[in-house]
Homo-oligomer: A and B are copies of this chain.
Amino acid sequence: MANAMARTAADTTDTTSPQGRIRRENVERILKAAERIFAEAGFAGATMADIAERAGLPKANLHYYFGTKEDLYRAVLDNILRMWLAPIDSFTPDADPSVALTAYVTAKMEASRTRPHASKVFANEILHGGTQVERFLAEDLKSLVDAKAGVIDGWVAAGRMAPVDARQFLFMIWAVTQHYADFDVQIRKVLGRRTLTRQDFAAMTAEVLRLVLRAAGLPELQIAEPQVSELEPPTDSVPSIS
């Protein structure tokens, strides 16, 4: 999927020339604006005019760089999918299950805090049928889950954690961690808070870790908290597409 996206003007040009620099900056501004607008309104609810305004560019430029609205949406999704798979690398046969799970849950909670729009765009895509990410789900993600489920099964077989259905255990981790980005409105209203601060996220991460580790029959690590504290601020910066 990550390599099967539509070819557009945005990725066919030399990036070392001066023109390439402006292009790269504009593309990045558009992608950042688009991620936000698509997160807030969904694909159908987002308008090219809204995205253009947020990016501070004329509407026609979006079509110049990305062709159609759907092409732009796919480029945004592509950015998101690329980072979606990474943090689970900590799951290896020789790793300590407590350490690996702590690292993974912490990374997922950090993603919910620092890139909430990305999580929402993905959630919205899945919620409405996931037609744009079908291959990603059935190939890339399935392969990864199959592999990591094997690792977890090995941990269970070795008596290093309580018996779990490995795939459902992963679903649980995804559901719980992404919930803090996707359902933030509900969480804030129920807790009576206007915003969720970095401190709130540190506390929520600690509690999620406690519940997940207990569900896995593992002791809680005492070093969990420091890992959350020194990361970048909650902006919505998007990595370059090129």
- Using CB atoms, name the residue of chain B closest to A214: B215
Residues of chain A from 192 to 242 with CB closer than 8 A to chain B in the complex: 192, 204, 207-208, 210-212, 214-217
Contact B130 A168 (CB under 8 A): no
A175 to B108, CA, bound (A): 14
In the complex, per-residue mask of A102-134: 1 if CB is within 8 Å of any chain B CB, else 0: 000000000000000000100110111110001
| A175-B176, A186-B130 as given contacts; A42 in contact with B212, CB under 8 Å | no
Q: How many copies does the complex hold?
A: 2
Closest chain B CB from A153 CB (angstroms): 14
Q: Is A40 an interface residue (CB 8 A)?
A: yes
A80 to B183, CA, bound (A): 17
Contact A127 B127 (CB under 8 A): yes
- From the candidates B40, B175, B216, name the one contacting A183 in the complex (CB within 8 A): B175
A187 to B192, CA, bound (A): 32
Contact A165 B207 (CB under 8 A): yes
Q: Is A137 an interface residue (CB 8 A)?
A: yes
Binds B, one of A11-19, A89-97, A138-146: A138-146
A239 to B96, CA, bound (A): 50
- From the candidates B42, B45, B172, name the one contacting A208 in the complex (CB within 8 A): B172
Q: Is A5 an interface residue (CB 8 A)?
A: no
Most chain B CB inside 10 Å of its own CB: which residue of A167, A179, A183: A183
In the complex, per-residue mask of A60-94: 1 if CB is within 8 Å of any chain B CB, else 0: 00000000000000000000000000000000000
Residues of B within 8 A of A210 (CB): 164
- Using CB atoms, name the residue of chain B closest to A131: B185
Contact B129 A40 (CB under 8 A): yes
Q: Is A190 an interface residue (CB 8 A)?
A: yes
In the complex, per-residue mask of A162-182: 1 if CB is within 8 Å of any chain B CB, else 0: 101101110110111011101
A185 to B135, CA, bound (A): 12
State the A residues within 8 Å of B (CB).
Answer: 40-45, 120, 123-124, 126-130, 134, 137-138, 141-142, 145, 162, 164-165, 167-169, 171-172, 174-176, 178-180, 182-183, 185-187, 189-192, 204, 207-208, 210-212, 214-217
